[in-house]
Amino acid sequence: MPFEVTGLIVAAVVLLAATAFGLVKRARDGKLRQPSRSEDREVLARLGVDGATPVTLLQFSSAFCAPCRATRAICARVAAETEGVRHIEVDAESHLDEVRALGIMRTPTLLIVDAAGRVVRRAAGQPPTRAHLLAAVSEALTSGSKTVGSNR
């Protein structure tokens, strides 16, 4: 096979792989999804998450992260408008042990934690829409009240 044809094939494969990666990344950015792992309650407690608050919006940010500012604004607004919701913003660079323990790979990452200390939703990358965040918070408030009530 001539060298030029081999080069074209390699370039086409690289282009297809990069396009597929970009499409998957775009589809996952900012989507609130159920976590694939159980989170360590002790790690969450070190970051200020406690059972006294029905729902905590735990946001991991970094200093030079533009989407972090948008996520902060949406979370702060939802927390201010919704009873029983608290927003905590954590500097990822200052809490590397917790970042590793919770599997945080990029900023912003948002964890929605219920009163039982379970991460019920997780989003990374672009901020979720206000409507999606309100729906997830409402679900967490409902599931958290059922859990808390069933333990009494």
Q: Which residues pair with 55 in a beta bridge?
A: 85, 114
- What per-residue confidence (pLDDT) applies to 129? 92
Tell me the C-alpha distance between 61 and 114, whole Å: 20
- What per-residue confidence (pLDDT) applies to 28? 60
Whether 73 and 86 have beta carbons less than 8 Å apart is answered as no
- What per-residue confidence (pLDDT) applies to 110? 97
Q: With left for phi above 0 and alpha for psi between -120 and 50, is residue 58 left, alpha or beta?
A: beta
Tell me the C-alpha distance between 55 and 15, whole Å: 43
Tens-level pLDDT at each residue, the chain (152 residues): 676 777 777 777 777 777 777 666 666 655 565 655 566 788 999 999 988 899 999 999 999 999 999 999 999 999 999 999 999 999 999 999 999 999 999 999 999 999 988 899 999 998 999 999 999 999 999 876 554 443 33
Q: With left for phi above 0 and alpha for psi between -120 and 50, is residue 91 left, alpha or beta?
A: beta
Whether 108 and 77 have beta carbons less than 8 Å apart is answered as no
